[in-house]
Each structure stands twice: as structure tokens, then as C-alpha cells.
């Protein structure tokens, strides 16, 4: 029997007496108006189709349903509304089973929840990521999920937006089974359910749970919500599912969803969603020209090198890690294995996966081995002579089509590229530490980088599961340049009257996980100190220079790891240190500065302005392509709160007047 179309993106075909309805709305089968009306039409048709015992719902391509169409947010609503489609599924007279072939997210998960059964394909995932968009589920997620998985699991999943894979979904009771061919298994389930009372999720009672366990789950999620309002609202609604009947629960959920959809938090997070997807794109760059990268060499296996090696291994690459001696190579292998172990412990990775990764790892002290590499990433000491010597040597070893990448943070990659015979194959890949965890990678398009080399680097970073942002050559690239600018501003404020703890408190109240002085302490003060000493000879003597950090370093206050920096750390706990206050007061006195009081709003306003001014300069100089790229870097590399949308977005929202 031929496919019957119900709308542009919905078609169906009768298979073994079951109507298999396929959602085909690339790229992610989002629930557009066309999908919703097509689903309604397919349901109507099946109701009167005697030949059909029931329905199997599945997605074309690699996604089941990616959720509501985020691009439709803010546009006038078009009937049928998603909650109506979902109610029709749940109350449908014949069994409807979801064959979840890929991601079932947001509204897609809500569709699956309302079905009478759910079969997960091996690549299936289920998630209610709405809080990541500053909203709550709007089509029953908060009411139906706890009916299947209980309050505690639902609070965690809805409050954090964490997706679960097929196996966990089955354990939780969210899916009925996993199958290699989910459509076939779902058809069988329709037959099994036919003629029996259907399991309508909304009619199931929420399992009763001990209130202290519920409160503990709630507290755990809220501890990580940092200034965002959606997680608390989502949890309130999940708890309401245990108290209200379905109809009233759904009404409460819908009202909250509509209110939050129009909030500034949601606008900011939607901006971040699209900015993250735009950041890795370069106008006019031919993606198809990218070279396949299978074997990655990492030179240097310190913290950064081993982190990069782990990221490459866990994304399926073969890795050759090069060190200077066989002993150092053995040490590198141990560090990489240890990092993989940590991933196993933190459940990012399975034990089988670890063994399989180590089988793809070669550690060596023989540079000639790098002839096998498609891409070489250097992560050696950040010194120009060290790096140029290395690149000169590599140039004579690696294949002519191999790409050379530098992970420098502050050096000029063009100068490193100039040491090679073919600088067009050199690109910057600036990872953030720990490289196996942090998503952000600044992909530096050097003056001579060939387009296909840039395209290959972008594809590689995406395959790592990371977030590439393209930037041009400048000292510190996008992130460290902005970080330096606002650290300078923070230090000006220290001299003018604010204290480190006041500045950090303002940043943390704004949503940063940690203020800038606490961050400096964590990172250690010595690297920036060494840079300042190097730059001392060339510094403009007329430019304002704050010496407080130098005084702290001279006094041996190098940060958290020695227990003293901008703060003291007795028992590891961040504490205000009167010695630091005395150093600051002495610095003010030496310059005859009469300290004044700063409000938290003024502190934030000055820091944001410093970020935005530097960001604007990066755009003007063509270093960053879009304001959103700067936002993505600051959010993913520097703790800028995502729910504020990034500094450039926040400034735009406040019409050029960034304000806390």
C-alpha cells in the first residue's frame, strides 16, 4: 500500500494491520503547525479505518521529534495547539504506540508520554529540556512524566532538562522496552494492547513518595539553578501533579508556560540556543571540502594535552600522544587513563568504553610516528620558541595533507605558522581546561589558513561533541581578550574603592558561578603575573596600571592551591583576608585615591560595559563575526550566566545601557 499524505510532513502506511505514521520535518521533526495538523488528520483517519488496529508514531531520519518549533515562539498561535493533539492521542480509542527512533525532546517527549506505549530504538533519548530555554514544558510533560517515573526522578529530569538514553528510560519506567527495530516492536505492542483497556498515562496515579525525599531532590536541583526561575517553576508543577487532577495540573502548567515564554530569561536562552548553532558557521565556507580526520596526534600530555586526547578518544578517533621521552610517554598514558577513569566514575563513560578507547591510544616518544596523523594538535609549553621549533620539526615529518593545530592561548598563531613551509595547513584550536569536559573551542582562522583546513577543524570540533567558535588572530582571541578587559576594569574598581569580595558578590548575584577574583585564585595568579612582567618593558607608561595583583604575587599569594591569593582558604573555604584589604588600601594611598562606595548594580554595569566595549572592538576588527559568537564564548568558557544571554545580548536588551 502506498503512503497516504496527511500534510507536507506527515504520511502514513498500513503495516501488519497497524497505521505507521511518520513525521518527516527536517532537520529535527519539530512540531510545526503542519506537523500538528497532519497528526490530527492521521488520527481522524485511523479512527474510521477499520483495517487499522492502532497507530505507531515514528520520526523520519535520526530524530523522533525535536520538540516545539522554537522559531514559532512569539508568533501568533496556529490551530491545532499541541496540547489538543496530545489529548487526542491519549484519549484515542485505538492503541497508539511511539517508536522512538531518536531524540524525543520537549513536545516530542510529551507526545511520546501521551502514547499508550513507548518502544525505544537503540539511539533513542527522552528529555524535557524546556528549562534550558527558560520555560517549562507546555504540553503535559510536568504532569505525565511523574505518573510514569515518580516524583523524584521527574523533579530531577524536568528541573535540569537532562535527557536519558534508551536503557535508563526503561529502568525509569519511561519506555516499555528497547528494540533494534523499534517500529516492528511497536507494531507488536499495538497488537498486544488491542482490545484491552489502554494504559492512558494521564489516568495513572502519581506514586506517593516520602516528602523528605522529594524535598531533597528539589534542593539538589535548585542548588544548581543559580538565579534562573524556570527550574523552580518546573518543580512546583511536577509536585502539583501529585496533588491536582490531570485537568487542573495541565491548566497550571500551561499558564506557567505561557508566562515564562514571554520572559526575558527565555528570550536570552533562545538567543543562546541559536547563537550556539550559528557560531560554528562561516559564510561561504564549503563544508564538503573538509578532510576526514580519523587519527589525531596530540603533542604534549600535560593537563591540556591529556584532556584533548581523552576528548578525541571518546569521540571515536585514534590518538597518538607524543612525548619527549619513553618515560614521559608512559606518564602521559597513565594521565590519559586516569582521566578516562574519572569519566567512568562520573558516569560520562562506561568501563567497556574506557578499554575500547585505550586500545585506540598509542603513546610514543618517536616523532616519526606522527606520519600516521590526519591532524596534529600541539599542547606544549606556551612559549613561541618552543612552539615554532616544534612546528618546524613536525613540518618535515607529517604527511603533506595533514593539518597542524596550535592550542596556544596567548601567542600569535601566525608567527607559529610562519615556521612551516605551508602555513595554509595551520589553524588554531584553543581548548579550555579541562579539555575533556569544557565544550568551548575557539577555532582560530589564521591569516593563511586554507578554507578546507578551517572547514576540517570545525567538523573535527563538532565530532568531538564540542562547540566551535571561529575567531581571527588577536592576543587572547575572543575570550581571553574580553576576560582581560573586564579584569582590568575590576582592578580599577579595587583601586577606586570596591573590595574583591564586593565585586565577586555582584558577579555571583548576577549569575556567575564564581566571581573574577575567586576564579583567578582557582586558576593561579602566576601565569598572568609572568605575562605582566614580560609586557612591562612595552607597556604604555601613561596607561593606568593597577599594581595590587603584583603586590599579592610578590607576597607569595599565588592562589587557591597554596591557600592564599585574593582570599585566604583555611580548610579550603574562601575567606576574606585582612592582609589583602591592607595591600589594596596601601595601593590606593600610594596613588592618593580616596575610596568611594560601589553598589552591586554599579559594579555590574561597569564590568558589563568593559566586556561590551571590548566585544564591539572585536567585531569592528573582524576578529569575531557576530555578537552572538562573543556571547557563546563568554557563556561556555567564562561562566557568564546563560539566562542573561551573554554580554552583547544583555547590552542590546538594555538598549546600549548594560545594567545588572
- The residues that touch ligand T1G, with contacts defined as CB under 6 A, are 27-28, 30, 63, 66-71, 82, 103, 105-107, 110, 129-130, 133, 135, 137-139, 141, 274, 277
We find the least distance from the C-beta atom of residue 157 to ligand T1G, in angstroms, to be 13
Non-local (6+) Cβ contacts of 330 within 8 A are: 363
Min dist. Cβ of residue 28 to ligand T1G (A): 4
Nearer to ligand T1G, 198 or 237 (CB): 237
Residue 133: CB minimum distance to ligand T1G, A: 6
Yes or no: say if 529 and 550 are a contact pair by the CB < 8 Å rule. Answer: yes
**Considering beta carbons, is residue 125 or 420 the nearer one to ligand T1G?**
125
Residue in the shown chain whose Cβ atom is closest to ligand T1G: 106
Query: Choosing from 87, 90, 130, 508, which is the catalytic residue?
Result: 130
Helices 516-523 & 477-496, crossing angle to 10 degrees? 120
* Closer by beta carbon to ligand T1G, 125 or else 318: 125
> What stretch of H or E contains 281?
none
**442 included as an active-site residue:** no
Burial of 2: CB neighbours in 10 Å, binned 0-12, 13-18, 19+: exposed
Taking residue 168's Cβ as centre, other Cβ atoms within 10 Å add up to 17
Is 218 one of the catalytic residues? no
- Residues 298 and 301: their CA atoms lie apart, in Å, by 7
Integer angstrom CA distances of residue 129 from 27, 62, 103, 487, 563: 18, 18, 11, 33, 39
Task: Return the sign of the alpha-carbon dihedral for residues 481, 487, 491, 493.
Answer: positive
Closer CB to ligand T1G, residue 250 or residue 482? Answer: 250
| Residue with smaller CB distance to ligand T1G, 279 or 319 | 279
At its nearest, how many Å lie between ligand T1G and the CB of residue 314? 17
Question: How would you classify the pairing of strands 96-100 and 125-127?
Answer: unpaired
Quote the CA–CA distance of 112 and 99 in Å, as a whole number: 9
Angle subtended by helix axes 627-638 and 264-279, to nearest 10: 100
Element containing residue 299 per DSSP (H, E): strand 295-299
Catalytic residue from among 90, 110, 502, 614? 110
Gap between the terminal Cα atoms of the chain: 62
**Least Å distance between CB 471 and ligand T1G?**
19
Task: Give Dmax over CA atoms of the chain in angstroms.
Answer: 91
The least CB distance from residue 138 to ligand T1G, in Å, is 4
- List the catalytic residues: 110, 130
Amino acid at each position: 500500500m502506498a503512503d497516504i499524505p496527511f500534510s507536507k510532513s506527515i504520511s502514513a502506511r498500513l503495516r501488519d494491520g497497524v497505521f505507521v505514521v511518520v513525521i518527516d520535518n527536517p532537520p529535527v521533526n519539530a512540531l510545526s503547525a503542519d506537523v500538528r495538523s497532519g497528526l490530527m488528520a492521521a488520527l481522524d483517519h485511523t479512527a474510521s479505518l477499520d483495517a487499522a488496529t492502532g497507530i505507531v508514531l515514528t520520526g523520519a531520519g535520526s530524530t523522533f521529534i525535536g520538540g516545539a518549533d522554537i522559531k514559532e515562539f512569539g508568533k501568533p498561535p496556529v490551530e491545532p495547539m499541541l496540547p489538543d493533539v496530545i489529548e487526542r492521542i491519549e484519549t484515542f480509542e485505538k492503541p497508539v504506540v511511539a517508536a522512538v527512533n531518536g531524540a524525543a525532546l520537549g513536545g516530542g517527549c510529551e507526545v511520546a508520554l501521551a502514547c499508550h506505549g513507548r518502544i525505544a530504538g537503540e539511539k533513542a533519548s527522552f528529555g524535557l529540556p524546556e528549562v534550558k530555554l527558560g520555560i517549562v514544558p507546555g504540553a503535559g510533560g510536568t504532569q505525565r512524566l511523574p505518573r510514569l517515573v515518580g516524583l523524584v526522578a521527574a523533579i530531577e529530569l524536568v528541573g535540569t532538562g537532562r535527557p536519558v538514553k534508551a536503557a535508563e528510560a526503561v529502568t525509569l519506567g519511561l519506555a516499555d522496552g528497547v528494540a533494534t527495530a523499534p517500529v516492528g516492536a511497536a507494531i507488536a505492542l499495538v497488537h498486544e494492547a488491542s482490545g484491552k483497556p489502554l494504559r492512558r498515562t494521564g489516568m495513572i496515579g502519581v506514586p506517593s513518595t516520602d516528602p523528605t525525599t522529594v524535598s531533597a531532590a528539589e534542593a539538589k536541583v535548585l542548588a544548581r539553578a543559580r538565579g534562573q526561575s524556570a527550574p523552580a517553576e518546573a518543580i512546583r508543577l511536577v509536585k502539583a501533579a501529585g496533588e491536582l487532577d490531570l485537568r487542573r495540573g495541565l491548566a497550571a502548567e500551561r499558564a506557567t508556560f505561557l508566562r515564562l515564554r514571554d520572559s526575558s530569561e527565555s528570550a536570552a536562552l533562545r538567543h543562546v540556543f541559536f547563537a550556539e548553532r550559528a557560531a560554528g558557521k562561516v559564510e561561504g565556507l564549503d563544508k564538503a571540502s573538509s578532510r576526514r580526520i580519523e587519527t589525531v596526534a596530540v603533542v604534549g600530555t600535560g593537563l591540556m594535552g591529556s584532556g584533548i586526547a581523552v576528548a578525541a578518544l571518546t569521540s571515536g578517533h585514534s590518538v597518538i600522544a607524543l612525548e619527549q621521552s619513553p618515560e614521559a610517554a608512559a606518564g602521559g598514558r597513565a594521565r590519559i587513563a586516569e582521566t578516562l577513569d574519572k569519566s567512568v566514575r562520573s558516569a560520562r563513560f562506561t568501563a567497556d568504553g574506557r578499554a575500547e578507547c585505550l586500545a585506540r591510544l598509542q603513546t610514543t616518544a618517536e616523532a616519526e610516528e606522527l606520519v600516521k596523523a590526519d591532524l596534529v594538535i600541539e599542547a606544549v609549553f606556551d612559549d613561541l620558541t618552543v612552539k615554532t621549533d616544534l612546528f618546524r620539526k613536525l613540518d618535515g615529518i607529517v604527511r603533506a595533507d595533514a593539518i597542524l593545530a596550535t592550542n596556544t592561548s596567548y601567542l600569535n598563531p601566525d608567527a607559529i605558522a610562519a615556521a612551516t613551509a605551508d602555513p595554509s595547513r595551520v589553524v588554531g584550536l584553543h581548548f579550555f581546561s579541562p579539555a575533556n569536559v569544557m565544550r568551548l573551542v575557539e577555532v582560530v582562522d589564521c591569516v593563511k589558513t586554507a578554507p578546507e583546513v578551517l572547514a576540517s577543524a570545525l567538523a573535527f570540533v563538532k565530532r568531538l561533541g564540542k562547540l566551535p567558535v571561529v575567531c581571527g588572530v588577536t592576543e587572547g582571541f575572543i575570550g581571553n581578550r574580553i576576560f582581560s578587559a573586564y579584569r582590568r576594569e575590576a582592578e580599577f574598581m579595587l583601586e577606586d574603592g570596591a573590595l574583591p569580595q564586593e565585586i565577586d558578590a555582584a558577579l555571583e548575584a548576577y549569575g556567575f558561578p564564581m566571581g573574577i577574583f575567586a576564579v583567578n585564585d582557582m586558576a593561579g595568579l602566576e601565569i598572568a603575573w609572568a605575562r605582566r612582567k614580560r609586557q612591562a618593558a612595552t607597556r604604555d607608561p601613561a596607561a593606568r596600571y593597577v599594581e595590587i595583583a603584583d603586590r599579592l604575587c610578590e607576597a607569595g599569594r599565588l592562589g587557591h592551591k597554596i591557600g592564599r591569593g585574593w582570599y585566604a582558604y583555611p580548610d579550603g573555604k574562601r575567606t576574606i583576608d585582612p592582609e589583602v584589604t591592607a595591600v589594596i588600601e596601601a595601593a590606593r594611598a600610594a596613588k592618593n585615591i580616596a575610596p568611594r562606595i560601589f553598589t552591586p548594580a554599579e559594579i555590574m554595569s561597569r564590568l558589563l560595559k568593559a566586556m561590551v566595549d571590548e566585544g564591539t572592538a572585536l567585531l569592528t576588527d573582524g576578529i569575531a563575526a557576530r555578537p552572538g559568537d562573543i556571547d557563546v564564548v563568554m557563556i561556555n568558557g567564562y561562566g557568564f550566566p546563560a539566562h542573561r544571554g551573554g554580554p552583547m545580548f544583555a547590552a542590546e536588551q538594555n538598549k546600549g545601557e548594560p545594567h545588572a
